[in-house]
Amino acid sequence: MEFSANAVIEAIYNDVNDDGYNETFLVEIIGHEQTETYPKLATTRYTTKGRNICLSWEDGSTSWHSLADVKNSYPILMAEYAVVNKLQHEPAFNWWVKHTLKRKARIIKATKSRYAKRTHKFCIKLPQTVEEALQIDHDTKTTFWRDAITKEMTNNRSAFKFLEEDEIVPVGYKWIKCHMIFDVKTDFTRKARFVAGGHMTDPPSSITYSSVVSKDSVRIAFMLASLNGLSLSATDIGNAYLNAETREKVYTTAGPEFGAELEGRNVIIVRALYGLKSSGAAWRAHLANTLQSLGYTSCLADPDVWFKAAMKPCGFEYYEYVLVYVDDVLVLSHQPEVTMKALETFYRLKDGFAEPDRYLGAEVKKWTFPNDNTKTYWALSSSQYVQEAVKNVEKYLKAYDRTLCKSNQPFPTEYRPKLDTTPLLEDEAINYYQSQLSILRWMVELG
């Protein structure tokens, strides 16, 4: 049973990549034929004999294969084909088709529920709804979650246009569901974020595409800062998306997070609210217009690197650079505060701006060499990020009376995932494991 489950899981995940696009060579099953040695159900209980399957490939060719080969390679596709063509009751199909399709539905359902479920962070319970958050405050005699909700809705106020109770929603607007998501920061501050249900809309890709500066561009920029003797300044733009107007015609119904006096009213979303598919692109376009007004030009090699000609007081000519990663802005210039103060006239900068000691999770350090202390070199390091990640894993394992093993590789050389029949993790542990994969990926990016 475990091996068959592994085969079904592998088929599900091999059919599509991370973006949902088919990457297999098989196009579809286009036919079937009965062979001369078709066995009878009374004589053979489990068999795949008696049928050959015709497959169509991406290069335009077709070929015939035994049912056994197709079943092992594409169990779900073969099972669905059997049902459509009413073959599921034949001896070659009736013993496995129903079981495969049932297992497919269960696996997909379990995967979705496990991915979404997260109950605690830093040993603090994470509410799933506004009502639950307020109930936690009531039970613990605190106002942590209420304060976080109030702060978020105050910052979001400009994103909404409230209709009167008898006012009709304009034609062409679509109702979407909105909800509040909750988190706990590393300093145990409660965080609430009001998010639009972007999954309920289907805008064209032309208004949703948005990019961020690449890691290679960041490293090249730090090198240019050293070569040209430039200073660095970084900032984080507060509530960045809300500075841009929404590109979609959507509205929602106010919930308890809006307050008792507004609950139940129809609300038109007029700003690029978090959760909408077009919000990232809307914000990027808005910031691009601002940088263009300040004289910057987008780089052809990386559109999230902006530059303009500048000159030092000594007459040295160079280019100033602005690097953008969503709402994180890094300026390279001999006077970066000039650009930062200009941005401050357009946006609210969190905690102002300063020379960075961290950027996108990496440590930023200055280096000078003993034999040449006239030049300053910039360096990026992932060591602190790695150390903190290891500490968190050790703390997590300690609760289960386990420790990290000393090894030069994550798995023994003889380990074979397809043959692993150990029990599945519980929902919370699965969620934790997935988060560690994301952290590990970011370690590689930073390093």
* Percent of the chain residues topping a pLDDT of 90: 27
Distance CA 299, CA 415 (A): 46
SS3 285: helix
Q: Which residue, 361, 3, 53, is CA-closest to 215?
A: 361
Q: Is the pLDDT of residue 207 over 80?
A: no
pLDDT for position 1: 56
Tally helices (H) and strands (E) across the chain.
11, 20
State pLDDT tens for residues 95-130.
888 888 888 877 676 666 655 556 777 677 888 889
Q: Which domains does the chain have, with CATH numbers?
A: 2-116 (2.40.50.40), 124-381 (no CATH), 383-446 (no CATH)
Name the token pair of 166: 């008898």
Instruction: Using the predicted structure, report yes or no on whether residue 276 has a pLDDT greater than 50.
Output: yes
Among 174-178, 259-263, 399-403, top mean pLDDT goes to: 174-178
Tell me the C-alpha distance between 207 and 277, whole Å.
8
C-beta of residue 431 within 8 angstroms of C-beta of residue 117: yes
Instruction: Provide the token pair at 25.
Output: 């060579």
**Distance, CA of 403 to CA of 424 (rounded, Å):** 20
Q: Dihedral sign for Cα 100, 106, 110, 113, please.
A: positive
SS3 assignment, position 105: helix
If phi > 0 it is left, if psi is from -120 to 50 it is alpha, else beta; for residue 290 that is: alpha
What per-residue confidence (pLDDT) applies to 85? 86
% of the chain exceeding 70 in pLDDT = 89
Supply the pLDDT for residue 376: 79
At 9 the pLDDT is 65
Which 8-state DSSP code applies to residue 409? S
Q: 73 pLDDT exceeds 50?
A: yes
Q: Select from 446, 236, 445, 441 the least CA-distant residue to 362.
A: 446
Burial class (CB in 10 A: 0-12, 13-18, 19+), 417: exposed
